[in-house]
Amino acid sequence: MKVQVPFQQLLTMVKRLTPAQRARLRQELVDKKPVQKDKDEFIEYLLSGPVYSDKEIKVIEENRKSIAAWRTKNFFKYA
């Protein structure tokens, strides 16, 4: 759950913490937690995306070859 708290209000709340609570907050902010869950979710998102069929890949390859040939032809034409 995400909560939007204005910065000033957050600052006021932090200033009201006891020294022990501030130390604990500081430690929590410094500690680096592994982001494995987010990474796993992102990988799952990518793997569940659309994929090209063999026919579509062949068309893309042919188009790339045609564009490369056209660019090479035009480059030498004006060089």
**Tens digit of pLDDT for each residue in 5-41?**
899 999 999 999 999 999 999 998 888 776 677 788 8
| In contact, 60 and 52? CB cutoff 8 Å | yes
**Tens digit of pLDDT for each residue in 54-74?**
999 999 999 999 999 888 876
- Does 79 score more than 60 pLDDT? no
DSSP E strands: which ranges in 7-77? none
Euclidean distance between CA atoms 73 and 69, whole angstroms:
6
Q: Enter the DSSP assignment of 26.
A: H
**pLDDT band (50, 70, 90) for residue 75:** low
Sequence ranges of the domains in the chain: 7-78
Is the pTM for the entire model greater than 0.75? no
Provide the CA 72 distance to its chain's centre, in angstroms: 35
